Amino acid sequence: INNLFEFDDTTAGDIMTHRTDIAAVEIEADITDIVNLAIEEGVSRIPVYKEDLDNIKGIVYVKDLLKFIGQEIPKGEKIEYYVRDPLFVPETIPCGKLFEKMTETRIQLAIVVDEYGGTAGLVTLEDIVEELVGEIEDEYDEEEQIIKQIDADTFLFDGSCDIEDAEEALGIELIDGDYNTLAGFIINQLGSVPDENSKGVEVDYNGVRFTVCEVTDKRIDTIKAEIYDRTNNNN
């Protein structure tokens, strides 16, 4: 019931898959490579762009390409022949309105655009439904542990962990800032964008020692948190 009341306050930008996590292909990509990418990522729809992700031309439905599995691709066959028109929406559109738009048009994937016209991320109809009724797992979903407790005082966090979930797990409050994830908190504390040399860097805050464990393409993937002083805990 609470989800119903909060639904109109939630926007596409709140629930979207960020552009850095989008599985997309160049319009000149080989059809076989696209099918392999879909299998690897476990997705049924893939955005197609020209030159860069800010220039999305449409969406390819993997089911349209299944006929090519195990077959030689006919000469002259191009991915652009299978690209469908994309649905572009602003980050600020409420999930309720987006749900209506997607169900009316029978489009299950929308490209989220930022205020400058660039690609901010994407939202699927499943994302919206999960926001309303809770997590949906289908036969293709892999269970992903965002928070893994090692022992009473040690946790492993995915960098994308929601800041409030991290606070609840650790029993502390983290400083407010212009970020929503634990990785964002770490970057804010470090004052710099992570790189390959950031692995092993530590941040001490409120009785917890955070260690950057994995970094990929300037993104913090994994963070270890060790509680060493529970007198600072707020719970």
CATH of the domain spanning 2-133: 3.10.580.10
Would the pLDDT of 86 be above 60?
yes
Per CATH, which fold does 147-232 belong to? 3.30.465
Name the region of 76 (left: φ>0; alpha: ψ -120 to 50; beta: rest): left
pLDDT at 204: 94
Domain ranges of the chain: 2-133, 147-232
Paired residues of 152 in beta bridges: none
Structure tokens at 77: 């066959």
Q: Between 36 and 6, name the one with better pLDDT.
A: 36
Measure the CA–CA gap between 228 and 235, rounded to whole angstroms.
15
Check: CB of residue 78 under 8 Å from CB of residue 32: no
The model's confidence at residue 137, banded by pLDDT at 50, 70 and 90, is very low
What's the predicted TM-score (pTM) here?
0.58
**What is the DSSP code string of 181-201?**
BHHHHHHHHHTS---GGGTT-
